Structure 1
Amino acid sequence: MPPPGAFGPDKGDDMEEAEQVLRDARAVLNPAGISVARVSFVASGATAQVWKLESASKTWALRIVTGNRGAEDQVGYAIRRELFDRGGHVAEPVLTSAELQPIAGRDWSLDRFIHGVHPARGCLPDRAAVQLGQTLSLLHHLPARGFGRPSGMAEGTAIGPCEAPMDGVRHRFENPLPECWPRGYTHPLLTRLPELRDQILSRLARVTERVQQGHGVLCHSDLHERQFICSGDDLGALIDFGDVTLMDQHWDLGSLLYFHGPEICGKVLRGYGATQICPDMVASFSIAVAMHHASRARLPGKEHRFDVAAKYIRRLLSDVDRDPA
């Protein structure tokens, strides 16, 4: 996502869009007692646009859903509500379109605005890392059944549409494991790293074995640095639950290791508090995460992901060779 306040090449068009969002938001929110005085663009991603709404004394974050992902956004809102009520470090949910009406024909959700900054990759403060671990533990223990992207909620339980664990993985990731590859496909990372081919495939086989055991929990699944808002040394909020998926908890932990390295991952695990987590299994899942991100390098503007993923796997497996413990 672009940084807060970022606009495209024609700022006049962006000003007009902001004015239209202000009019549309006022039409829906003002009758509900939320008086919107100003609006400013925050970010835009695959699942939603985010706008900052301000009154004389309060500030909110408005997520306007992209395309037909309204049902998914409602699930994300319900998950954030459960996490907030349990003391998780997420923004406080306020309202959704399900409680009022769409804004200009689009579904939306409204949270309290969290003031703070995104940390640099691999530089999450110690206290924030522990708080992130606590929040992920809460997320992973929320009631859920099935696999894949939740299709809805039933009596407080998130429902995954898939019965098979590997189908749930396919719902979220692109070519992370050989079982997900098309017939005759060779992952480009195996071609880039021929000297590590056997090690990579051995690691991915361990991931497959674990996935097929069927340990499904709600995973955030995309734990890069712009998903964290920090205020000083504290985690203000874990944000953007648009890719939440029911699958093995190690996908989240592998995502952390991939994006932030072993030091930050270790601090998060201290807050997470699970004694049954095997660091070597986390490392194996992080390779599967790397395979996904390398596959996504085919998309415009994401070409750099392939080199990043190859460099990560080379460094990880080299570190394992130097220190098997």
Structure 2
Amino acid sequence: MQGWADLGRALRVLHALPHSGHGLLADDARVLQGQAQDPGAGVRSRLPSAWPFGPLPLDQQPLVQADRSLQPHLDALTPEFQRAAGAPTRVCHTDLHAGQLIWRGGRLAALLDFGDAACVPAAWDVASAAYFHGWAAAAQVAAAAGLPCDEDAALFGLLLAQHRAARARRREQMAQAVGFAHGCLGRLHGWAPAAPTSLPRLAAP
């Protein structure tokens, strides 16, 4: 769909804006400046509990509690998460779900809601597009934005899966997070264990 290329071009413009710092943007109309001073704190400002940047241990992550087979794979990726988070930052949207995109005739008419915009690596936006719209769409977005759809996008995808699992209130939401995590591992390693056949009971919304 041509609209994915439209989104990529919009992100290319966003990513080129002058900025400083890390993480969620400070409330300052004069500059685009992240609230955090280092990459790990920048990730944490947007994804407060995502391991290895947040305070919650890996074995207590809702994603891992939903599927224990993910734990050793995530643990082994600790240095890769740190490396990906330390990549050069861009001003990123970070939350490209369907409600943020207005379409007209298959073309992108508007990109909405910059309340979660942050100074983070551009791979975050590729991962966000993949989480909500699939990797095929993300590849089109990345190409138009001048970005690779590579292992860093999969690593940020695993961080997003943790965040979405922590926010899940319905079984299908948790299933999406778990399934996406397996898909990211598959992209990183060419293999991922089978998704679980059952998930823990979730709190009512």
TM-score calculated relative to the size of structure 1: 0.53
Match of 1:209 in 2: 83
Sequence identity (%) = 28
Match of 2:34 in 1: 160
The one of 286, 301, 306 aligned to 2:157: 286
Shift of 1:268: 0.9
Change (3 A) 1:205 1:303: farther
The one of 169, 185, 191 aligned to 1:321: 191
Shift of 1:179: 2.6
Residue 244 in structure 1 maps to residue 106 in structure 2: no
Shift of 1:313: 1.7
Change (3 A) 1:266 1:313: same
The one of 140, 163, 170 aligned to 2:44: 170
Other structure's SS at 1:139 match: helix
Change (3 A) 1:183 1:316: closer
What amino acid sits opposite 2:165 in the alignment? A
Match of 1:200 in 2: 74
Distance 1:150 1:195 in 2: 35
Shift of 1:302: 5.7
Change (3 A) 1:269 1:233: same
Aligned 8 A contact 2:42 2:120 in 1: yes
Change (3 A) 1:159 1:317: closer
TM-score calculated relative to the size of structure 2: 0.82
Shift of 1:204: 5.0
The structure with the greater share of residues assigned to strand is: 1
Shift of 1:288: 0.9
Stretches of structure 2 lacking an aligned partner (at least 5 in a row) = 193-205
Q: How does 1:14-25 map to 2 (within 5 A)?
A: none
Q: How many residues are treated as equivalent by the alignment?
A: 189
Other structure's SS at 2:56 match: coil
Other structure's SS at 1:229 match: strand
Match of 1:143 in 2: 18
Shift of 1:256: 1.0
Aligned 8 A contact 1:177 1:208 in 2: no
The one of 139, 143, 150 aligned to 1:266: 139
Distance 2:69 2:123 in 1: 26
Change (3 A) 1:316 1:171: closer
Computed over aligned residues only, the root mean square deviation of the Cα atoms, in angstroms, reads 2.2
Q: How does 1:73-88 map to 2 (within 5 A)?
A: none
The structure with the greater share of residues assigned to helix is: 2
Match of 1:312 in 2: 180
What amino acid sits opposite 2:42 in the alignment? G
Shift of 1:188: 2.6
Distance 2:132 2:110 in 1: 18
